[in-house]
Every structure is written in C-alpha cells, then in structure tokens.
Structure 1
Amino acid sequence: MEIEQLRQVPLVDLLTRLGFAPAYRRGQDVWYRSPLREERTASFKVNTDRNVWFDFDAPI
C-alpha cells in the first residue's frame, strides 16, 4: 500500500477497528481519549473533513 492510499483510509474507521470509541462528536471533529496513553478527558481530535488528527496533550 502506498502513502496516498493510506491517506484515504478514514481515521475514524481505523480507530473503530482498533477498538477505540469516540468520547463525543462536535461538527466534523470526533474526540477520543488518547490511544497513546491513559487519560480521563478526551484530548485526541480527528477532523473527518480533512482526515487528520491532533493530540492536544502530547508532550512537545
């Protein structure tokens, strides 16, 4: 699979297949508890329009 094919995979579908359920949805943003660490408040956002993610609590 090439990089452009991978970019076409919806991140929300991938996270669902991996067993992660969204904490909530707001417009085109789907919020999760981070799949990278344990947390109680959702800080991992997936934008479904752009198919990109951002982790607001990730160390800089």
Structure 2
Amino acid sequence: MERGDAPYYPVNNEKNNTLYEQYKELAASKAENVIFGGRLGQYRYYNMDQVIVAVLEAVNGEF
C-alpha cells in the first residue's frame, strides 16, 4: 500500500464487519446509555443525509 492509499472510512468487507460486531458487543457491555453513531460509531461510510437519518432512527429507538 502506498502512502495516501489508505481508505478514510472502513471498507465494507467481512473483516471489517466482524471487527464492527466485536466493537458493538464491547460497547453494549461497557457503555450503557451511550449511542455510538456516524462513520466511526457505526464503522461504515455515510453521506451526511444518511447520518441524519441514522441519528433520527437512534433517537426513536430504531437503531
């Protein structure tokens, strides 16, 4: 990999999806009453309109 080739967000593949599930389980067991959202919190790429929808769903308990 050359300098600058690293993605700026997680690539949606089996390795990263497995890692996300591990983070999600850890967060659920250690951080009650906390919602992790957005690109980093949900470990996926989002456009801003998708972030807003995800936040609204989380607030409404659909997360």
- TM-score of the aligned structures, taking structure 1 as reference length: 0.29
Judging by fraction of residues, say which structure has more helix.
Answer: 2
- TM-score of the aligned structures, taking structure 2 as reference length: 0.29
Which gives a bigger RCO, structure 1 or 2 (Cα 8 Å, sep 6+)?
2
Judging by fraction of residues, say which structure has more strand.
Answer: 1
Determine which structure has more spread, i.e. the larger CA radius of gyration.
Answer: 2
